[in-house]
Amino acid sequence: MRLLHTETLRLRQFDEEPFPEYAILSHRWGDQEISFQELETGLGTEKQGYRKVETFCTQAKQRGFEWCWVDTCGIDKTSSAELSEAINSMYKWYEQSAVCFVYLPDVSAQDLQDGSPIVTDIANSCWFTRGWTLQELIAPGNVEFYTSDWVYIGDKASKIDEVSDITGIDPGVLDGRKPVRSCSVAKIMSWASQRVTTRKEDIAYCLMGLFGIYMPLLYGEGDRAFIRLQEEILKQSSDQSLFAWNPLDEAAEVVSSGKESKDSYCGIFATSPACFAESWNILQSPEYWDTESALTNRGIRLRMPFKYDVTTEIFTGILCCTSSARDVAIEFFGASTSFEDLDHLIRRSSKVKIGNWSNDPQIQFNQVYLATETSLSRVRYFGLHSLKPESEFHVLLRDRHHLASLDGPPEIHPAKALVPEPLLNFKDMKDTRELFVLNPLKPSYRVAIMLPTKSMGNIALIFGFATLKNGLPDLPHTWIVLLKMPDQQSLEEVWSSVTEPPLPQAAEAAQIIIDRVCISAKITQQSWWARTSQNVSISVIPSTRVVDSLLHILAAPMGGVKRLNLRTLVHNHLGISPGVGEPK
């Protein structure tokens, strides 16, 4: 710490505590502040900032202080390491000072006839609007206020009610009876909600001392600094009032819900203290449940209680904090409508909800990931639906004998089942033609595909999901139907006629044999790591080759007589006759 000698105005470095007793200055920076380099070289004495420092030293010396500290010239700001250390230590330096002189250049005093001063417009002083002066008011035990002419107009103790009304800070915090960190995160943030700083990053850095946070300074990161502050608070505190803030309109990101209405979403962290303007009455609660949380690459992992609204498809997450003895909650869009599959939640850009959910029987606990600002990039690019576990089906056509007549993707219904994926267009592959990517969840839990053939007419493939009692799709129970389309029937008519799987248990494979050609379709998992990405494999091959393949697998180890009987059995089972020249 570099202290300034009140008589010589020379700086001296003190590396170890305890530091000598010192006075400290709190002020609003002007255009002509004196720097460390100017004070050291004797330059800048004509600046208003130098005269301010000089007068402060005179006042401190008259009060019996040999040393004082001023932020403008007590830090070498050309050294990023020294600047970072000073800002991280600032709260402690103000807290350890013997007295803090608050200089109010926009406040004047007028003397009454009896000689006593009368003070005007203290509430309108810009000093109460600055970010850095918040900790400079709270941290010191003794704070004295001075006008533009350095007239003493009272201290924090004598003006405690007035200062509390101006700032919203509890009187108990101002006089030191109540520790700052006994207040909720939301309440502390609310004290800074109306304050500003010259640089965006400083609105976060000026709050580090109030939360006991130490973190490196990264000027140039902009609003990311305030996100980083909240991440550090999350690592050290279980106070969920950190999430009890109201989104700013300009910060909300609008996303279409697929209907005429639109909704908006945001990250779980606030973009600035201004979001906490209405959170001054939110209090911490005892940990009624396990509030342990962790910041991961998928968002914030934690366990919390939820209530799901079937009509709006919105989750209400109850926070472990209260407002006027009532519960506090925020709303989310879910990645799933099933509590068993509840995973990724994105905060809805709506205000904090206050109510009573403690005895609600519909409340369920679950571990979830709350999307942060950095984890919303996929949502911004693909839309809100990208985080929902909607199955994507890669349709593959295996037609080595060119029995199908396709020059491009086949006709499908509904057309909106197509997933816009520029990297997976219709293309020829070795032995396989990959057609497109589908999502049956979007249309009505099923899709119809028309496969034209060269001699057999049009074949319809319908696949989708079996439905549960609540009408929601159950992802594992996919089903498939294959049928020959009548000449005059449209694909939409076929789609409308087949609404449920043909069997009580959903079938994931089907086949049809027409004119000695076997067309089969099967749904298979694409990859072990892609839970909802599956392949719909369509094979078109001569039926005799199917029989021969089956015989090769099942009858090869057996004798010739047995092979003949098995061939006859298979032909009878498939409903076709042996071809000319084939053994009977």
Give the domain ranges of the chain.
Answer: 2-178, 240-387, 392-546
Q: What angle do CA 336, 339, 341 make, to 5 degrees?
A: 55
Dist. CA 530–CA 391, nearest whole Å: 10
pLDDT, tens digit (0-9, with 9 covering 90-100), for 105-163: 999 887 766 767 677 778 999 999 999 999 999 999 999 999 999 999 999 999 999 99
Work out the mean pLDDT of the chain and round it to a whole number: 83
CATH number corresponding to 392-546: 2.60.270
DSSP string, 461-491: EEEEEEE-TTS-EEEEEEEEEEEEPPTT--H
State whether residue 132 is helix, strand or coil: helix
- pTM confidence score: 0.69
For the chain, give the percent of residues with pLDDT over 70: 79
Does residue 539 register a pLDDT over 70? Answer: yes
Composition of the chain by helix, strand, coil, percent to 5: 25, 30, 45
Closest residue by Cα to residue 437 from 423, 422, 419, 460: 419
Dist. CA 319–CA 304, nearest whole Å: 7
pLDDT, tens digit (0-9, with 9 covering 90-100), for 35-48: 999 999 999 899 99
Does residue 584 register a pLDDT over 60? Answer: no
